[in-house]
Chain A
C-alpha cells in the first residue's frame, strides 16, 4: 500500500470492554511502533516491533495493554478492561532500518473514546 493504514478510525466503547486496534505498515518495513497521544499532548511511546518480535515494550502503561505482530506485517494493539483514562488517539508508525535515521511514517490513528 501507499502508506500506513489503521482501523478503525474511530472507536467508542464502554468502560470495562476490550478493544483491538489494527495497524497495516508500509510493505517491507520491518520496524513498527505504537504510540498514544492524549488530547493536546505529545506522542507517548508504547511498544516497538522488529519483525515479529517486540524487543522494547517499555512504554506499555499496564498489563491491560498488549500487542502482537504476525508475518512481519499487521500488528494488533489490544486493550483489556478499558478505562476512561485510555481515551486517546493511538498512532502506529513503520520504518525501514537505515533510511534517514529510522524515519517513521505514521498512520492516521485510531481515536478511542471510553465512556
Chain B
C-alpha cells in the first residue's frame, strides 16, 4: 500500500530553526516533493529531491534518504509568514507518475 507520515502540528519561535519529518512507504519511488500551503490558498512548490542528500535553497533545505524512506524539510531563520501547512508528496514510479500526498504538517510560528 501507500503510506506517508508527517507530524500533524508543530510550533516554533520566530528566528529559530525547525525540522519537519516525513516517512514514506510507497509502491515505487521517483522522487519526493515538499509543498507549502497557506490557509485558504493553493499548495506551492518548495523542493524536489531525487537523490540522497541535502539540497539547500535559501532559508529552506530538504533532505532525502531513499534507503530509509525518509525526508525532512528544514526551515531556518523562521519568519511569521512561514506559518503554513507543509505537505510531503511522493512521486511514484510506474503507473501514471501521480503524487501521493501526506496529510501535511501545520506549522505555527510565534513571536
Contact = CB atoms under 8 A, between A and B. Distances in A.
A101 B101 contact: no
Nearest to B49: A101
Interface of B: 30-31, 33, 41-45, 48, 50, 87, 89, 91, 95-104, 106
A106 B43 CA distance: 6
Contacts of A103: 33, 45, 48
A104 B99 contact: yes
A65 interface: no
Contacts of A33: 98-99
Contact of B98 (A48, A91, A97): A48
Contacts of A43: 43, 87, 89, 101
Q: Which of B43, B50, B103 has the most CB of A within 10 A?
A: B43
A50 interface: yes
A42 B101 contact: yes
B100 A45 contact: yes
Nearest to A108: B42
A43 B85 CA distance: 12
Given A33-B99, A101-B33, 13 more contacts: A33-B98, A40-B106, A41-B103, A42-B87, A45-B99, A45-B100, A55-B96, A56-B96, A56-B98, A91-B42, A100-B48, A106-B43, A108-B42
Given A107-B42, A109-B42, A102 B97 contact: yes
